[in-house]
Amino acid sequence: MRLNLNVISIHNSDNDSVLTKNKGLTIKGVIKERGMSIPCRLRLFEKTSGRMVAEVATDQNGFYEFDHLAETKFFIVAHHPTSEFNAVIQDNVVPK
């Protein structure tokens, strides 16, 4: 099957409602697999709209931090570094 897609780049002013210019609130943690910390890629999405807000890579010990966040609900998708397992979703995450 062949799809013809046109990708249109837009600026979404709603980003201002979930991101702040100063450090704001943060979401941080560590990613583990079977009790062992692992590095991986994480994506942060605003829960209400489903829009991706940020993407980070953990350090080698699995630690991550999203900052400059406003007070709203998010969900995080963690992608396994070797794609051996499906992505993991953490829902209803609130920054502090």
Q: Which domains does the chain have, with CATH numbers?
A: 16-93 (2.60.40.10)
- The band of 20, judged by pLDDT with boundaries at 50, 70 and 90, is confident
**5-21 mean pLDDT:** 54
- Using one digit for the tens of pLDDT, what is the confidence trace for 32-73? 998 999 999 999 999 999 999 999 999 999 999 999 999 999
User: Read out DSSP for 22-77?
Assistant: S-BEEEEEE-EETTEE---EEEEEETTT--EEEEEE--TTSEEEEEEE-SS-EEEE
